[in-house]
Amino acid sequence: MNNVESVLFKENEGSYLVGVVAGLTTKTNKIGFVGGMELPVIKKFEAGFKAGVAAVNPDAKIDVNYVGDFSKPDQGKLAAATMYDGGADIIFHAAGGSGNGVFNEAKDRFKAGKKVWVIGVDKDQSIEFGNDVTLTSMVKKVDEAVYRVSNDLLAGNFHGGQTVELGLKEGGVGLPVENPNVSKEILDKVEDYKNKIISGEITVPTE
């Protein structure tokens, strides 16, 4: 439709950056990824994350579990428990409401005196689940998408009937502004890799 512009995100690029964080933060070299359903968009999260981890820590092992649903936190909690029991100390989820269960499992372990991390998705999930268990988040900047389309419309540059993808170069994905649990040294590394992706030196896989 000529009066509609579709905006998508390069989830793989933002996931690469949180993979860098995970790879440099893990103490066990065991990291988990919990997905909702095996859909192309979720596989983009997985692919980017794995590539980011491998870039900085090729010795790290990544356990992947797709729970088959986006609205079953009990399944997310069970998947997280299995991964943490297996030695993982960081889990990145792209599982919607099922991912809430990953946070719930991490919080239960924190209360029991066991330190594990979760990497949130789509928004800064530390706001909801706290900094005790949230290492960082892979943020989709929907506000940036709305701003860009609105600004284009006002400027007479609206391109209806097209699909636009926003990645790191366009400011569409990335980490939260505040990352109190990530060291400056690691954030500097993240910035280096971000610049390499934007320049084209690194091409992040989608599958």
In total, how many domains does the chain have?
A: 1
Beta strands in 23-133 (DSSP E): 30-35, 61-66, 90-94, 117-122
Asked, for residue 204, whether it belongs to a domain, the answer is no
Asked, for residue 131, whether it belongs to a domain, the answer is yes
pLDDT reported for residue 177? 94
Whether 189 shows a pLDDT value over 80: the answer reads yes
Of 83, 88, 84, 73, the closest CA to residue 25 belongs to: 88
Residue 202 CA to residue 193 CA, distance in Å, equals: 8
Q: Is 66 helix (H, G, I), strand (E, B) or coil?
A: strand
CATH code where residue 23 lies? 3.40.50.2300
Q: 121: which 2 tokens? A: 């998705």
Domain carrying residue 144: 6-198
165 confidence band (pLDDT: 50, 70, 90): confident
pLDDT reported for residue 158? 55
Residue 87 CA to residue 114 CA, distance in Å, equals: 12
**Tens of pLDDT, residues 19-58:** 999 999 999 999 999 999 999 999 999 999 999 999 999 9
**% of residues, the chain, pLDDT over 70:** 86
